[in-house]
Amino acid sequence: TLRDAMLRFSRNILLLSLLISGMTALFVYLALSWLIVGPIRRLSREMVAFKADPQNTARILVPGERGDEIGIAERELAAMQQQLSEQLNQQSHLAALGLAVSKINHDLRNLLASAQLLSDRLSSVRDPTVQRVAPKLLQALDRAISFCQSTLSYGAAREPPPDRRPVAFAPIVREVAESMGLEPTATVGWIVAIENDLAVDADPDHLFRVLLNLTRNAMQAFESRGPTDIDRDQIRLTARREGSVVVIEIADTGPGIPERARANLFKAFGSSTKSGGTGLGLAIAAELIRGHGGTIQLVDGTIGATFRITIPDRAIDLHAARTSRRTG
């Protein structure tokens, strides 16, 4: 009858609808599992594995090529893991270096003290050359011993605060040139242009170390591309006073600093691109300049590398100055 036919048709439609709904639900589940649930589970497993050994670069996630939010999350996680792994490895390197320094520093200080005692005997030699070189040698040994002592007492974590006072800049520049062997017969040009009677409100030892590190970096840059040539390889040091700030620039005609090294230029172990380099020179220079309330930066758009240093004079306490004059 017509009623029975309608019931069979309704039952068939219901079964077909249930079948289509079930298949649709299955396809949706499989799609969500493949597109979202699976990748999220993979991210979770990668994070747990990386947490177990963050210094193992093999545990860093290899992101896919997806362009959606999951792909963005994978790439950002991989970048974060890479950065964290590098930082942890660097900290381990620093910890190992600190332990090594603490072990050898005491013996090194004793060796320097012995060398100092032997050098004292040079002062009794009447040779003019010896008389000229001996005070500089003793001064260099005194500075090395002082560095060793400050390393032990301060833990090599930070530099001691600067002992600032007005100092003539020209003698410090001459001492740097002598220490680096930048004599008139050298194969590297040394050009100095500083204001007459320029004085800097700074710690002379700290300032010497900064200039020495920058000059040594320039020399190493020259040597990295072959034998030095005075017509090609030149270092230019300029200094001037701008109001209460002294501006110092050290420029070289070397190969320059690669882009990959500029991001971590003033971080320990982050700026060296030379074989055997430590990458500590610029980090030490930046820390010493910051201790003076100054700045150091790489100047863009120059031949080779140019570093600009600013050292402001200390603020004068007018109340203390007036009190000192009254008591005086």
- pLDDT-derived band at 104, boundaries 50, 70, 90: low
Q: Is residue 154 very low, low, confident or very high in pLDDT (cuts 50, 70, 90)?
A: very low
**How large is the average pLDDT for residues 112-122?**
68
CB burial of residue 282 (10 Å; 0-12, 13-18, 19+): buried
The burial class, CB within 10 Å (0-12 / 13-18 / 19+), for 277 is middle
What share of the chain has pLDDT > 70, as a percent? 80
pLDDT tier, 278 (very low <50, low <70, confident <90, very high otherwise): very low
pLDDT above 90 (res 312): yes
Most confident of 104-118, 141-155, 215-229, 295-309: 295-309
State yes or no: pLDDT of 146 exceeds 50. Answer: yes
Residue type, 159: E
pTM above 0.85, yes or no: no
Q: Is the pLDDT of residue 207 over 80?
A: yes
Which pLDDT score, from 0 to 100, does residue 292 have?
A: 93
pLDDT tens-digit map of 38-75: 888 888 888 888 888 887 888 888 888 888 888 888 88
Q: Which of 113, 304, 129, 309 is nearest to 219 (CA)?
A: 304
pLDDT of residue 235: 94
Q: What is the pLDDT of residue 275?
A: 43
Query: Are 227 and 268 in contact, with CB atoms under 8 Å apart?
Result: no
Q: Is residue 1 predicted with pLDDT exceeding 80?
A: no
The whole-number average pLDDT for the span 253-268 is 81
Which is more confidently placed, 72 or 104?
72
**CA nearest 218: which of 241, 251, 185, 186?**
251
Quick one: pLDDT band at residue 268, thresholds 50, 70, 90? low
What is the arithmetic mean of pLDDT over 85-103? 74
With a pLDDT cut of 90, the percent of the chain lying above it is 27
- Under DSSP, the state recorded for 287 is H
pLDDT-derived band at 159, boundaries 50, 70, 90: low
Among 116-120, 122-126, 262-266, where is mean pLDDT lowest? Answer: 116-120
Return the pLDDT at 311: 96
Q: Which residue has the tokens 């050009």?
A: 191
**Average per-residue pLDDT for the chain:** 81
Q: Provide the 8-state DSSP code for 226.
A: S
Q: Tell me the average pLDDT across 241-263.
A: 89
* 173 or 155, greater pLDDT: 173
**What's the rounded mean pLDDT across residues 12-30?**
90
Is pLDDT at 155 greater than 90 in this prediction?
A: no
pLDDT score of 147 more than 70:
no
Would you list the DSSP string of 29-74?
Answer: HHHHIIIIIHHHHHHHHHHHHHHH-TT-GGGS-------SHHHHHH
